[in-house]
Structure 1
Amino acid sequence: MNSGRQFFTALEALRGIAAIMVMFLHTGGTLGPMPANISYLGVDLFFLLSGVVLANSYEKRLTAGEISPAGFLLHRIIRLYPLYLLSLPVGFVSYALQNDLESPAGLIVRAILLIPNGNPNGAFPLNGPSWSLFFELWAGLLFAVLLIRLSFRTLLVIALGAACITTYGAWVGGNFDIGHQAGYFAFGFSRVLFSFSLGICLYRLYDIRKPNTVKDGNITGLLICGCLILITNIPAIIFFGFPYFDLSICLVIFPAIVWIAMRTTQTGRVELIFGWLGRLSYPIYILHGPIFSLLHGLRQQGFNLPASPAAGMIVVIAIFILAGVITTRFDEPVRKKLRMMVSPNPPPAATQSAT
């Protein structure tokens, strides 16, 4: 396989849109009554994209011994943890407003260490969406230790086997929105292994074939982004109890969209917008949960906070602005310093990040 690493700008846009759609799913009434849609599958797209991007950035370096599995895991912690830790104080205040604090120290320690909780408030009550970080790190460790050594065919078999297990869980739960609840937590392992392994396969296929770049990359990129928005806005009730629909999206539609995205290049303003969508995707994803939960907790405490589309959009815009400020003023500088501390002279690496 070719040793060059690439930057797929359109994948950044897909990640950003998925994060935004997941955010709207978790508004907690801030935007007023909203029908649930299938944007929970945005998490499966995150896992798929992580498989592609991590394989692109690290697979050959791990195989060649340029970086150890421990060093890779440290890179992942540096990538994910600063913003996650920043979100915990907001999550703690939100949790305290809505629940009795029997063991606050234990709750905080478990949150910092990303240790799941077996209670009705979710596996990670201080930041609900952070459940996927747990599985991201677990999949990353498995990737560095085992998955890089497996053949394409074996990885594909693993992906399909994990898909079957996830589909079984979805039969019980109603759809693929499982893995974050205490009763369905075990299915989070199959859910991430399914899409993550499929992402590695997708990158290896691309790396071997090196398909031609699609013409009109700006238009194609915008079209696939629009396609993702339409898909994630499908009402969840339509296919609830029929998990084969979610399976088809994750097994066929998402890989097809990502494959097309990998074959495009963007220029000008479209490239700039796509790049920013990628930069803001993780801050939006990891910060929105505690913020909306805090607003919900304040309402429970009697604060007369408006809950309407207009008022909610102000909150959404504020989250966008906050994500931009934190990205440029906190997250990126902190990660840069941490990387310099652990590796003063790092080898050249792809700049694309996986979340």
Structure 2
Amino acid sequence: MNHKKYIFLDGLRGIAALLVVILHTGKFWGWQPAHGYLAVDLFFLLSGFVIAYAYEGKLSAGLINKRQFVSIRLVRLYPIFFLSLIFSAAIAAGRAILAHYADLLTIPQISVSFILNVFFIPSPIKNNEILFPLNGLYWSLFYELLVNIIYAIVRPVLSTKLLLAIIMGAAFIVFGVATVHGDMNIGFNNDFASVVAAFGRSIFGIFLGVLMFRKKSFFLDYINNVLHVTIKPAFAFLGIVAIMIMPDFSSLNALSDVLAVIFFFPLLVLHCIEGTTKRWGRAMLILGAASYPAYVLQAPFAALAYFGIGKGVVEKHAPFYGMVFLFFLIIASVALEKKFDIPLRQWFSARYIKKSNNSKRTDEQSSS
């Protein structure tokens, strides 16, 4: 089966990942994108669309079952995730041994967290509310997997009405959380508000992405011919970037974040879906390839770079070190995706998922 390439969606995943990198390496830049955390909501939205594109037909036709779908999603995430986990645990152990930092994890805590995280299980520890203290960014992967499982379970009865009801309920949660918290930079801790926020953000984005895949022609026709709003893909792409780097609005952050996630992101992504570009196509593909490795590897790589360059030196020469770090992170991410991630995923798929599918067909033939 030939899969269509949504070139601008690849670019969006990549640029969103890089903005998250800049957000978490502010010392390298002397600046942080004030709303860079909204990249996670964009990830959820794009993930829902791509999952529906890739698997709705197969699930409906019975070509894969729920268990195989979840296995495919795990295989998609796991090789780079496990590599990142090893690096993150090694960095945490090094910090503990050198005792250069106040926010240290002990070796026993690191060991327990590592063992739990291997199975994608959160490991919040005493005096540390982060769900994944070895690498806080894993929280979004955890909730994406949970919502993927929910999607697989409810998909057989997931009519348009039910889909809309789920999206509207999650939108209400997103609005409430943003209003109470003051913005949408919440979801990575293990307190009640954070868990509710994370479920609201992930369910809203992923299920809205599914709806956008199913009804993209209707939405685009309505926007273009009824509302008479037409945005070129390149401008829609830049609009999404502009939202994530817009200035801090202080007391208005809650409103601006909600409008971005519930209204502007879906509108602009719809205009990016069918976009094509010859001039920037290669760059978009590179950004897409680098997006996931850069997202999960940024924390250990940044910690290593910061330690190697030296405290104070990084800040003094910002944003030079930021640009150098980002350049090498992209190169490393693309290389890892090509030489490590894809081969391992193909091996796992051939050995376990396809083998399981062939066994199922053999059993069906034997019983017929």
TM bucket (normalised to shorter chain) is 0.7 to 0.9
Gaps of 5+ in 2: 96-100, 225-230, 358-368
Query: 1: distance between equivalents of 2:137 and 2:272?
Result: 26
Structure 2 counterpart of 1:74, from 71, 81, 96: 71
| Aligned positions of 1:2-21 closer than 5 A | 6-21=4-19
Contact kept in structure 1, 2:124 and 2:133, CA below 8 Å: no
1:261 aligns with 2:267: no
Work out which structure has the larger RCO, using CA pairs closer than 8 Å and 6 or more positions apart in sequence.
1
Structure 2 counterpart of 1:64, from 61, 66, 75: 61
Structure 1 counterpart of 2:233, from 203, 221, 242: 221
1:123 aligns with 2:131: yes
Tell me the alpha carbon deviations over residues 236-291 of structure 1, each in whole angstroms, 9 at most, x when there is no partner. Answer: x314564222111111111111111113233x342222222211111111111222
Normalised TM-score (structure 2): 0.83
Gaps of 5+ in 1: 348-355
1:316 aligns with 2:326: yes
Query: 1: distance between equivalents of 2:312 and 2:183?
Result: 35
Which amino acid is the alignment partner of residue 25 of structure 1?
L
Contact kept in structure 2, 1:147 and 1:155, CA below 8 Å: no
Q: 1:334 to 1:317 in 2, by over 3 A?
A: same
Task: Name the counterpart of 2:365.
Answer: none
Question: How far 1:151 sits from its partner (Å)?
Answer: 1.3
Structure 2 counterpart of 1:175, from 174, 180, 183: 183
Task: Name the counterpart of 1:244.
Answer: 255
SS at match of 2:137: helix
Query: 1: distance between equivalents of 2:187 and 2:151?
Result: 20
1:287 aligns with 2:284: no
Please say which structure displays the higher CA radius of gyration: 2
Q: 1:87 to 1:159 in 2, by over 3 A?
A: same
SS at match of 1:115: coil
% identical equivalent positions: 30
Question: How far 1:105 sits from its partner (Å)?
Answer: 2.3
Query: 2: distance between equivalents of 1:80 and 1:263?
Result: 26
Contact kept in structure 2, 1:163 and 1:194, CA below 8 Å: yes
Task: Name the counterpart of 2:170.
Answer: 162
Question: How far 1:294 sits from its partner (Å)?
Answer: 3.9
Query: 1: distance between equivalents of 2:174 and 2:349?
Result: 36
Task: Name the counterpart of 2:341.
Answer: 331
1:186 aligns with 2:196: yes
Q: 1:326 to 1:305 in 2, by over 3 A?
A: farther
Q: 1:143 to 1:315 in 2, by over 3 A?
A: same
Count matched residues.
Answer: 335
**Higher mean C-alpha displacement, 288-297 vs 323-332:** 288-297
Which amino acid is the alignment partner of residue 185 of structure 2?
D
SS at match of 1:127: coil
Tell me the alpha carbon deviations over residues 64-94 of structure 1, each in whole angstroms, 9 at most, x when there is no partner. Answer: 2110111001111111010010011221133
Task: Name the counterpart of 2:286.
Answer: 276
Query: 2: distance between equivalents of 1:306 and 1:285?
Result: 21
Task: Name the counterpart of 1:104.
Answer: 110
Query: 1: distance between equivalents of 2:19 and 2:335?
Result: 21
Moved over 6 A (4+): none
Normalised TM-score (structure 1): 0.86
Query: 2: distance between equivalents of 1:335 and 1:240?
Result: 45
Which amino acid is the alignment partner of residue 266 of structure 2?
P
Q: 1:170 to 1:209 in 2, by over 3 A?
A: closer
Q: 1:311 to 1:164 in 2, by over 3 A?
A: same
**Higher mean C-alpha displacement, 59-68 vs 89-98:** 89-98
1:50 aligns with 2:61: no
Query: 2: distance between equivalents of 1:95 and 1:154?
Result: 44
Q: 1:210 to 1:186 in 2, by over 3 A?
A: closer
Q: 1:208 to 1:71 in 2, by over 3 A?
A: farther
Question: How far 1:203 sits from its partner (Å)?
Answer: 0.8
Which amino acid is the alignment partner of residue 50 of structure 2?
V
What CA RMSD, in Å, does the superposition of the two structures yield over aligned residues?
Answer: 2.7
Question: How far 1:342 sits from its partner (Å)?
Answer: 2.2
Question: How far 1:157 sits from its partner (Å)?
Answer: 1.8
Which is richer in helix? 2
